[in-house]
Structure formats: structure tokens, C-alpha cells
């Protein structure tokens, strides 16, 4: 099983899109997306310096555009899983079919502008806390009135909040931990971004999403989201909610992902995956930074991706678990039975109670992939539904 990852803010480098502009149609595509985002993506990706592309209002649509531009040159129909970090979730949502590329770029433009405006309201910032006991790190962050904005796994937590609180945390770091101030405009993924969340919600309300065509992981809790409307709500909420990339990586491991492609500008997420999933469970990784990396990425998909169907009159969709627990199929439902859209096919029994599992489309219950009382993880396939094209 193969996952494609879309990176977030901080991964950009001056000129990183220059080689991609040599591909046919790339320049025109970026100019169209520039009109939607309200920034010059061609200039930002080729000629802008590091300070210019550090501007949140410019960086966010640039990163989403870069991911989508590169993914157009991959056989995405063989990709099983997509996920993105922070603003990268917009790119992942487009790759999963929830949003059109145009909608993802437009939302990235709004998100970037509004988060930049929220940053200007009062002095806030972020700092990476590396190492230390995880519980002690979180306690120290809370003690200084800060928020754990990013929990990235591999011993990395990003604290965010008021500038004076960050200064105190740096002066009194948790035991065996280092605090490194980050060069960002403000406290992303905290309540300080509430005005940006409100503005993004107003625009997102006019979008009609579709349900994902592949497993799509959410930064909110690492779970697979099966309904487009829910995913859109999570994308809006994520402006003020912590990024739980640690839980996304845990789900990659639970799913048995054997290969990962990180879209440009690649390297950050690949490094986190390597450190967190080291050992026998480490997936094969390709960092896609230039068109020269495309052959390796395509080869990885060919070896680890889903095999294309040889039956042209049928298509199959996999219903996945949205949480951790045990699975209970619906009573009396058997392979070969006809299903209706929205029909409950079972329940995941969690510590909070039973969660319905429903069919996305009309079709036939082709195969149970989990059975009564089987333990299941977020994103784990539960059943396969077949239908006519």
C-alpha cells in the first residue's frame, strides 16, 4: 500500500518550482491558479527570495499549487492513501477527490491571507521543542500558557502562543529538551487564529465537496475521513486546532503502508516518517523534488500501488474505519447483499460508544475485510463494495 504526502509551511525553498515550469502546460496552470489565489505563483516558485516566500499569505497557496502540479504527472489512480501536513491537507483533499484543484487553491489563498492578518493582531510565535519526556514537554508548554500546535512525532512538539510565554519556555526548557524559536509570523493552529477560521468557514460554506475516492487521513486525529462534508469542516477547524501528524503516521503504520511519496518541496515529512517508523516497518520513500524524480516515484507506485481492475464494467470502493475499536458487522448482512447509499453496514465499538459505518454508494457487498470483534484502527479497510460504472 502506498501513501502520497503533501508538505506544509516551512518546507519551501527559493526557486524550487523552476524545473517544473519546463514541463508542458505547467506555466499556464500556475498562472490560472495565481488568478484564483491572488498571488503570482510563477514568480514565487521561481524568482522570489526566502523572505518573500516566508510570507504566510504567499506560502500557503504556493505549497498547495506545487503539490498539485507534481501530482498531475503521477498515476494517482493506483495510490491508496493521501495525507497532508497543515495547509498540505488542502492538497491531499484535492488528490483524494474531495475538492477540485481550483477549490483547494482558492481556499489556500484565503487561508494564507486570513492567517497572516490574524498574526498581525498581537505578538505571537512558535518554537520547536526537541526531545524530552513527552508528558513533561506538554506540561511545560501548558505551564507557560502556550499551546502544542504541532505534535509531529519523532520527539518533536511545536509550542505556540504569546511571545513572552515562548521566551520563558526557552529560558526554562523541559529536562533533556531543546527549544528552538521558529521564524514564523504567529501562533498557527491555536485560538489566536480564530478570526482566520471564521473567514475561511464563510468561503468554504459555498463549496460542495465530494466523498474521498481513496483513504484520506485527517490532521485532527489521524483518522480516515469518509465523507467530504466532514473533511471540509475539519479543514476549517484545523486553522485553530493542533496538527496531530504523530497520529497520521501511526495510522500509516496501522494500515501497513509499504511506500511513501512526498510531493514537492519534499524532505520534511519524509524525515519525520523515517525517524518515527524506523526499523522493519519503515516504508520505502521517494522525495519528489524535481521532474527528474518522477521515474522513481512512478516505479514506486507500480510496485506498491493498487493493481488496476481488469473488469472494466465494475468499480470498487473500500469502506474504512474512522476510529479505533472493535468491529461489529450489521446483523444479517452477508457478502453478495445489495446496499444502498448511507446504509449502515456495521459499527466500530470505541471507548466513547458505537460509531456507525455506512456505505458511500449503492452497490454490492463484495467482501468483508474485517469480521465480528476484530480490532480495527483508524483508516483500516472494513468492507469492499462493488458497483457498475
Taking the domains of the chain in order of start, what are their residue ranges? 2-117+191-304, 121-182, 314-388
Give the global pTM: 0.79
pLDDT at 308: 40
Residue 314 has pLDDT above 80, yes or no: no
Rounded to an integer, the average pLDDT of 227-248 is 94
The average pLDDT across 109-126 equals 95
The Cα–Cα gap between 148 and 132 comes to 14
Which overall architecture, per CATH, does domain 121-182 show?
Answer: 2-Layer Sandwich (3.30)
pLDDT at 181 over 70: yes
The span from the CA of 316 to the CA of 75, in Å, is: 18
Mean pLDDT for 171-190 is 92
Q: Catalytic positions, please?
A: 86, 189
- pLDDT tens digits, one per residue of 16-57: 999 999 998 999 999 999 999 999 999 999 999 999 999 999
What mean pLDDT comes out for the span 259-288? 92
50-70 b/e (C-beta count within 10 Å ≥ 16 → b): eeebbbbbbbbbbbbbbbbbb
The two beta strands, 325-329 and 375-376, are antiparallel
At 156, phi and psi to the nearest 5?
Answer: -130, 120
* 387: pLDDT strictly greater than 80: no
The fold for domain 314-388 equals OB fold (Dihydrolipoamide Acetyltransferase, E2P) (2.40.50)
Fold of 2-117+191-304: Malonyl-Coenzyme A Acyl Carrier Protein; domain 2 (3.40.366)
Question: 230-244, 298-312, 318-332 — which is least confidently predicted?
Answer: 298-312
List, in order, residues 6 or more apart from 203 with CB less than 8 Å away: 106, 107, 110
**pLDDT at position 313:** 39
Q: What percent of the chain stands above pLDDT 70?
A: 96
Mean of pLDDT values over 87-101: 96
Residue 349 has pLDDT above 90, yes or no: yes
Q: How many angstroms separate the CA atoms of 212 and 97, rounded?
A: 5
Q: Range with the lowest mean pLDDT among 109-123, 139-153, 255-269, 311-325?
A: 311-325
pLDDT at 362: 82
The C-alpha atoms of residue 260 and residue 284 are separated, in whole angstroms, by: 6
| Per-residue pLDDT tens over the stretch 129-174 | 999 999 999 999 999 999 999 999 988 999 999 999 999 999 999 9
Q: How confident is the model at residue 311 (pLDDT cuts 50, 70, 90)?
A: very low
pLDDT of 316: 57
Other beta carbons within 10 angstroms of residue 17's beta carbon come to 26
Instruction: Write out the E strands in the chain.
Output: 2-6, 81-84, 124-131, 147-153, 156-162, 177-182, 215-216, 259-262, 284-287, 314-320, 325-329, 338-339, 344-350, 353-358, 363-368, 375-376, 381-388
Are domains 2-117+191-304 and 121-182 of this chain identical in fold?
Answer: no
The mean predicted confidence, pLDDT, of the chain is 91
Is the pLDDT higher at 189 or at 353?
189
How confident is residue 112, by pLDDT bands cut at 50, 70 and 90? very high
Task: Summarize pLDDT for 56-68 with one digit per residue, the tens.
Answer: 999 999 999 999 9
Name the helix (H) or strand (E) containing 73.
Answer: none
What is the average pLDDT across 112-120?
A: 96
Name which residue leads in pLDDT, 358 or 109.
109
Q: Which three cell numbers stand for residue 236?
A: 476549517
Is pLDDT at 282 greater than 80 in this prediction? yes
Please tell me whether residue 255 adopts helix, strand or coil conformation: helix
Q: What cell was used for 194?
A: 480564530
What does the alpha-carbon distance between residue 65 and residue 108 come to, in Å, rounded to a whole number? 9
Is the predicted pLDDT of residue 183 greater than 90, yes or no? no
Amino acid at each position: 500500500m502506498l501513501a502520497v504526502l503533501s508538505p506544509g509551511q516551512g518546507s519551501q525553498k527559493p526557486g524550487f518550482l523552476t524545473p517544473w515550469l519546463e514541463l508542458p502546460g505547467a506555466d499556464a496552470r500556475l498562472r490560472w491558479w495565481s488568478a484564483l489565489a491572488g498571488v503570482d505563483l510563477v514568480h514565487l516558485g521561481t524568482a522570489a527570495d526566502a523572505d518573500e516566500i516566508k510570507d504566510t499569505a504567499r506560502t500557503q497557496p504556493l505549497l498547495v499549487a506545487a503539490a498539485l502540479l507534481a501530482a498531475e504527472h503521477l498515476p494517482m489512480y493506483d495510490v491508496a492513501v493521501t495525507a497532508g501536513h497543515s495547509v498540505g491537507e488542502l492538497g491531499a483533499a484535492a488528490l483524494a477527490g474531495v475538492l477540485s484543484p481550483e477549490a483547494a487553491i482558492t481556499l489556500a489563498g484565503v487561508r494564507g491571507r486570513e492567517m497572516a492578518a490574524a498574526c498581525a493582531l498581537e505578538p505571537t510565535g512558535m518554537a520547536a521543542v526537541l526531545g524530552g519526556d513527552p508528558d513533561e514537554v506538554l506540561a511545560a508548554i501548558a505551564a507557560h500558557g502556550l499551546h502544542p500546535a504541532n505534535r509531529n512525532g519523532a520527539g518533536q512538539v511545536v509550542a505556540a502562543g504569546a511571545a513572552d510565554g515562548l521566551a520563558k519556555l526557552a529560558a526554562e526548557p523541559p529536562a533533556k529538551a531543546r527549544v528552538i524559536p521558529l521564524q514564523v509570523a504567529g501562533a498557527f493552529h491555536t485560538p489566536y487564529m480564530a478570526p482566520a477560521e471564521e473567514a475561511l468557514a464563510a468561503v468554504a460554506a459555498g463549496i460542495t465537496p465530494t466523498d474521498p475516492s481513496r483513504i484520506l487521513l485527517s490532521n485532527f486525529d489521524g483518522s480516515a475521513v469518509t465523507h467530504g462534508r466532514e473533511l471540509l469542516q475539519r479543514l476549517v477547524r484545523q486553522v485553530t486546532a493542533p496538527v496531530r501528524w504523530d497520529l497520521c503516521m501511526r495510522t500509516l503504520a496501522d494500515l501497513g503502508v509499504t511506500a511513501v511519496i512526498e510531493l514537492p518541496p519534499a524532505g520534511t515529512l519524509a524525515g519525520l516518517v523515517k525517524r518515527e517508523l524506523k526499523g522493519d516497518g519503515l516504508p520505502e520513500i521517494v522525495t519528489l523534488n524535481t521532474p527528474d524524480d518522477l521515474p522513481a516515484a512512478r516505479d514506486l507506485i507500480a510496485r506498491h500501488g493498487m493493481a488496476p481492475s481488469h473488469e472494466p464494467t465494475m468499480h470498487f470502493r473500500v469502506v474504512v474505519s474512522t476510529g479505533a475499536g472493535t468491529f461489529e458487522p450489521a446483523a444479517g448482512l452477508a457478502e453478495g447483499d445489495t446496499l444502498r447509499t448511507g446504509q449502515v453496514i456495521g459499527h466500530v465499538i470505541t471507548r466513547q460508544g458505537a460509531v456507525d459505518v455506512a456505505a458511500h454508494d449503492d452497490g454490492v457487498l463484495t467482501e468483508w475485510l474485517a469480521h465480528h470483534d476484530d480490532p480495527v484502527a483508524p483508516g483500516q479497510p472494513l468492507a469492499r463494495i462493488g458497483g457498475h460504472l
